[in-house]
Chains A and B, each alone.
Chain A
Amino acid sequence: MRILKQIYDWLELRLQLEGPVKDAALHSVPRNTASWWYVFGSAAFTLLILQIVTGILLAIVYVPSAGQAWSSLEVLNHQLELGWFLRAVHGWGSNFMVAVVLVHMAQVFLFGSYKYPREFTWILGVFLLLMTLGMAFSGQVLRFDQDAYWGLGIGASITSRIPFVGGSLVHLLLGGPIIAGATLSRFFALHVFVIPGSLLLFAALHVWMVLKLGINEWPMPGRAVRRSTYLLDYKKLTHEDGVPFVPAALWKDAIFSAAVLAAVVVCAVVFGPFGPSGQPDPTIIHTVPKPDFFFLWMYAALAYLPPAMETPFILIVPVLGIAILVGLPFYAAEGEKSWHRRPVAVIVLCTVAISWGVLTHLATFTPWSPHMDAWSSDPVPAEYLHKATPLVRQGAVIFQAKQCRNCHALGGLGGERGPTLDSIASRMTEDQMIRQVIQGGGNMPAYGKNLSPAEVTALVSFLKTLHPENEIPAADASQKEAQNSEAVPPKGLKR
């Protein structure tokens, strides 16, 4: 023990860190901030450290070359001892980091922490979020598989929509005319040097300001922030009802961080590493590319936007969103912090969270995409063809063979791009069906050129049988009238 003390003293004489560390550890924080609500920031930092450590460990094996990246990941997954586990921890660590950063952001927004004098802490936080997302995207690129390849294609297509400089920016993004070796190398540099470097610097400044300005006090309704009085009030609060940060608050941070690490490890062991999926071979076009979890909401939004709105939306909304986040502390630097007195903030947060959840959920089953193999894998339910005439059966065959099934479900199976057709005959008359098949419209391609009149007749006669047994099929009232009057043709008309 004495030797240890001697070593410590020797180092302390030279480093002189004891003073600042003690100051930081023992600084007084408001008693009610030693709460389980205040643990997300430190957990995000812990995850950042985990990502750096596992990232370095992966980098000693990973080959950032377009020709070999994929096979080096296969070696990590299958041949190198516990390589799969490190990949899994890094992958799950990334997901947890984005999640914890988002929760942290929602919490500080709800607690009004961005108000005076912590505006810049919030602004750095916005950039930390953007960099975390940048790490998640570039990390997905380094997992150089089909999803990464086509994800880059989506990135390039979005970039190309920027007016005037879009084409040049695509070349810059890809490092050349196509997605290839140069693209992977530059994303490797971004993921390993550029973004983590700035992320660490920003995170250090972020924590520095938390120490210097003090942690945001628990918001109380009626205790509004005023620039003229806040600093004094806060000082008084920490003096009168303060506790030292260590150990009063830190033990909760420590336990939560460890719990998050445990969750990452459990997910890594149970679910394993992410991919890589198929080889990044652009000539294999039978692939259904999909982004990672935290980009699914964008994937869904891009499917639902009307074509004409898409480019303006892609170009304006992200800029506007970041501007709103950065501008928020300037717009609302003073005033109430408590969510009891900030209904608009609560509604905004709920709206954003619910929209995000709904879009992400939709993107897990992509109802907007045709099911590419439904026509050959999902048969027409047998009960739909009981007592069917040969013409109806022929129609069912055409229904499958012309890939109608890729977009239309029958009996719960098939694509969801178009409406389910189990009861189409109660919604559309024969004439309407013929028109829809031949001319398309309402997001359906026109099949007029691809179906002979006989095929249309067979197809529609099959569709006409699709209605619940106790419901009569839709019919055109005027047509019935016309048929009835056929027996007595109007005067002057020869039949």
Chain B
Amino acid sequence: MSSEIDTQQEQTAIEAKLEVSRRWLLLSLGVAFNGIMGAILAVPVARYLLSPVKRDEAYKSWIPLGSADSFPVGQTRIANFVNPFRRSWDGETAGVACYVRRIAVDQFQVFAVNCAHLGCPVRWFPQSQLFMCPCHGGAYYADGSRASGPPERGLFSYDYKISNGQLEIDAGQMPTLSNTAKLVTIDNAKGNSPCAS
């Protein structure tokens, strides 16, 4: 009799265990299902978030800065353009400024206004033929090469071409040390100090 009760008890205990493990199984199934859905949703979310990350070329295009004749030979002038990659709600932030230096009739240099140090807008001083930065005191010579201060290199310059008398530059993104903003060649750095190596 007692053994019968024992077996019955054992039976119920086993059933209880089984029942619990069935619930656990269902819960694990539910968790796994949610995990799979999470993973499936993560893909579009990540792609959505990463959508601004593009190759530099994807953002760049040739932008006219106006007639080449509007830039006198031997002078450096500021020119504004509207960034080709823009949204309708960008407002005035879609505008970009750059410096155009006309060395000779067919020879230009177009610099970004952003200091090569930390991107502040440099100002051109024609009297001393220097670009000076208001943030940390970087200074550049007229040809864009580094004169003094914290920048490690010269001003960023844009590629340019003349088509139909228009000066065009290859631009579209904020120049920083990590993108393909062209390095100013030091050979042209005529204003450079002979002491600077």
Q: Which A residues are within 8 Å of any B CB, using their own CB?
A: 65-68, 149-150, 153-154, 156-162, 166-168, 170-172, 174-182, 279-283, 285-289, 299, 302-303, 305, 307-308, 310-311, 368-370, 372, 375, 401-404, 406, 417, 439-441, 443-450
Dominant SS among interface residues on chain A = loop
CB distance from A268 to the nearest CB of B (A): 29
CB distance from A451 to the nearest CB of B (A): 9
Contact residues on B (Cβ < 8 Å of other chain), bracket: 35 or more
Quick check: B130 and A288 within 8 Å, CB to CB?
no
The interface residues of chain B lying within 8 Å CB-to-CB of A445 are 128, 130, 139, 141, 147-148, 191, 193
Q: Which residues of B (131-158) have their CB < 8 Å from a CB of A?
A: 132-137, 139, 141, 147-152
Alpha-carbon distance between A311 and B177 when the two chains are bound, in angstroms: 11
Q: B53 within 8 Å of A by Cβ?
A: yes
Given contacts A150-B135, A178-B172, 7 further A-B pairs with CB under 8 A are A157-B118, A167-B178, A174-B174, A283-B80, A368-B149, A445-B128, A449-B191
The interface residues of chain A lying within 8 Å CB-to-CB of B113 are 282, 285
The interface residues of chain B lying within 8 Å CB-to-CB of A161 are 177-178
Q: Could you show 18 A-B contacts with beta carbons less than 8 Å apart?
A: A66-B89, A67-B89, A150-B119, A153-B174, A158-B118, A159-B176, A167-B56, A171-B53, A177-B173, A181-B87, A283-B80, A303-B135, A372-B134, A417-B137, A441-B193, A446-B193, A446-B194, A446-B195
Q: B62 within 8 Å of A by Cβ?
A: no
Provided the pairs A66-B93, A446-B192, A450-B128 are in contact, do residues A310 and B152 lie with their beta carbons within 8 angstroms? Answer: yes
CB distance from A300 to the nearest CB of B (A): 9
Quick check: A281 and B152 within 8 Å, CB to CB?
no
CB distance from A301 to the nearest CB of B (A): 10
Quick check: B152 and A307 within 8 Å, CB to CB?
yes
Interface string of B70-109 (1 = CB under 8 A from A): 0000000010100101110111111111000000000000
Quick check: A177 and B59 within 8 Å, CB to CB?
yes
Q: Name the one of A150, A166, A177, A370 contacting B132, with C-beta atoms under 8 angstroms.
A: A370
Quick check: A157 and B132 within 8 Å, CB to CB?
no
Considering only CB atoms, which chain B residue lies closest to A280 in the complex? Answer: B93
The interface residues of chain A lying within 8 Å CB-to-CB of B118 are 153-154, 157-158, 302
The interface residues of chain B lying within 8 Å CB-to-CB of A172 are 49-50, 52-53
